[in-house]
Copies of this chain bind each other. A is one copy, B any other.
Amino acid sequence: MTGIDDVARALGVSTATVSRALRGLPGVSAATRGKVLAKAEELGYVASSSAAHLASGRTMAMGVLLPLIDRWYFSSALEGVDRALRAAGYDMVVFSLGGTGLNRDRVFHRSMLRKRIDALLVMCMELTPEELAALQQLDYPNVTIGGYVDGLRNVSIDDGGAATDAMEYLIGLGHTRIAHVRGGGEYGIEFAVPQQREEAYRAALERHGLEARPQWLITGEFRFLESKLAAARLFDQPGERPTAVFASSDEMAFGVLVAAQERGIRVPEELSVIGIDDHEFAEPIGLTTVRQSPEDQGSYAAELLLGELQGAPRLATPPFQPHELIIRRSTAPPPSS
């Protein structure tokens, strides 16, 4: 594998010159720089990141810690992170917990500590006090995406605000019997988010003098299947049915939609459904939702860290990322009873 000496020797210059030229540092004549670039290209030379790290202290890589990859929010956010890192010439190393609580300490006590990265993005994780301590001890620049961890900065939408927007919209349409499908805190995935949204649900009901019926608060684990099952149980309850369902995510809203459809409950005539996310499937299905962009949140968070690595002042409180109500066909005024 061709090294910096090969390039230097081929040109009769020193390795320092090659290093400087390749990294665009000052102190190299245009002519020399040109020759170096050409020769490096010709020989297919690229610096070894390990050697560069050892010598410079920078790995040019960033880590992402997440509970699971294969979930809409996570993979979208990962895409955004990668986009920002790619543009900055950084590599992305991904630490997934794989959806289980196992391996957690392995990740915390081996991988992340291997000094492979310059900064760390923590995605939607609920950390134990020990893990938080371990993380802070590493003292990488870090930031959380889509999850509040005490003592860490967070990049996300205003979850309470987004949920409030959804509720106010339903209430504004005239709904008074509103159910809520909340997400769950499985696998140590973030729990502050579903909780904040639930609180906004309750607060909206209360603000408008509406009844919060315990049996209308159901749990969907942030998943389609679980939500469909929970919605089925909701619809099959004796007595009055809600005229609207506010789901804490689009995937869960899809579950509600399918459960309703299987029972012949017409949407939106008999039942309004609203979600949060603007998942790829939401538009084709006609789901009203509150849009957020995990991809933008990911790239914003990555850029934040990238900037700080380059000496930008530390931003103590990242601003809320935007959310927006998107009205489609799944919501309408309640049936005039």
How many of chain A's residues have a CB under 8 angstroms from any CB in B? 59
Tell which of A81-89, A124-132, A192-200 binds the partner. A81-89
Interchain CB contact under 8 A, B96 and A93: no
16 residue pairs bridging A and B, Cβ less than 8 Å apart: A48-B114, A50-B53, A51-B54, A54-B54, A61-B116, A69-B82, A70-B295, A71-B75, A78-B94, A82-B96, A86-B96, A86-B111, A89-B111, A225-B280, A254-B281, A258-B284
Q: Chain B nearest CB: distance from A97 CB in Å?
A: 9
Interchain CB contact under 8 A, A82 and B94: yes
Most buried by B among A1, A49, A78, A285: A49
- Binary B-proximity of A274-298 (CB < 8 A = 1, otherwise 0): 0000001101110000000001000
Interchain CB contact under 8 A, A224 and B284: yes
- Binary B-proximity of A10-33 (CB < 8 A = 1, otherwise 0): 000000000000000000000000
Q: Which 5 A-B pairs have the closest CB atoms?
A: A50-B50, A46-B113, A75-B75, A49-B114, A50-B53
Give Cα distance in the complex from A79 to B69, angstroms: 6
Q: A253 at the A/B interface (Cβ < 8 Å)? A: no
Interchain CB contact under 8 A, B86 and A116: no
- Please pick, from B1, B49, B74, B91, the residue contacting A50 in the complex, using a CB distance under 8 A: B49
Given A61-B93, A284-B225: A44 and B79 interface contact (C-beta under 8 Å): no
- Binary B-proximity of A255-275 (CB < 8 A = 1, otherwise 0): 100100000000000000000
Give Cα distance in the complex from A308 to B255, angstroms: 44
Q: A241 at the A/B interface (Cβ < 8 Å)? A: no
Give Cα distance in the complex from A51 to B224, angstroms: 45
Interchain CB contact under 8 A, B258 and A46: no
Tell which of A102-110, A162-170, A203-211 binds the partner. A102-110
Q: A95 at the A/B interface (Cβ < 8 Å)? A: yes
Q: A92 at the A/B interface (Cβ < 8 Å)? A: yes
Give Cα distance in the complex from A223 to B53, angstroms: 41
